[in-house]
Amino acid sequence: MAKTYRVVTRGANGELRIKDYPTNEPLLRLHMQIGIDDCSTDLSLRGLPLFRGLIGPMPDGKGVIRYESPDVFETLTREWGTTKPVRRSRRRTGAPSADTAGA
């Protein structure tokens, strides 16, 4: 399966900037590799490079490996943590009636 390496940063005016690469070669030229991922719970990420100044690798859909700048990671994590989950009402079932109990 082909992999896409995605880097998400913030532009000067505050908007998210997303840049996709077909290989990790441009990342290796632009960022200093400081290690490899050896503890991800997603086994497909193990062995991928860790870069100074980027958070990641993390999965971002099928075949996409995402790295984020620290400020993007902090902002998106905070937004994710403050979103309220959609509350679903449980389907209520009544107690079994006397005529169906023990039948």
Q: Is 25 inside a domain boundary?
A: yes
Total count of domains within the chain: 1
Q: Is 57 inside a domain boundary?
A: yes
Q: Is 24 inside a domain boundary?
A: yes
Q: Is 101 inside a domain boundary?
A: no
Does residue 18 register a pLDDT over 60?
Answer: yes
Q: Is 99 inside a domain boundary?
A: no
Report pLDDT digits (tens) over 22-55: 999 999 999 999 999 999 999 999 999 999 999 9
Range of the domain at 29: 4-81
The three-state (H, E, C) secondary structure of 28-76, written as one string: HHHCCEEEECCCCCCHHHCCCEEECCCEEEEECCCCEEEEECHHHHHHH
Q: Is 88 inside a domain boundary?
A: no
Q: Is 91 inside a domain boundary?
A: no
Q: Is 90 inside a domain boundary?
A: no
pTM equals: 0.74
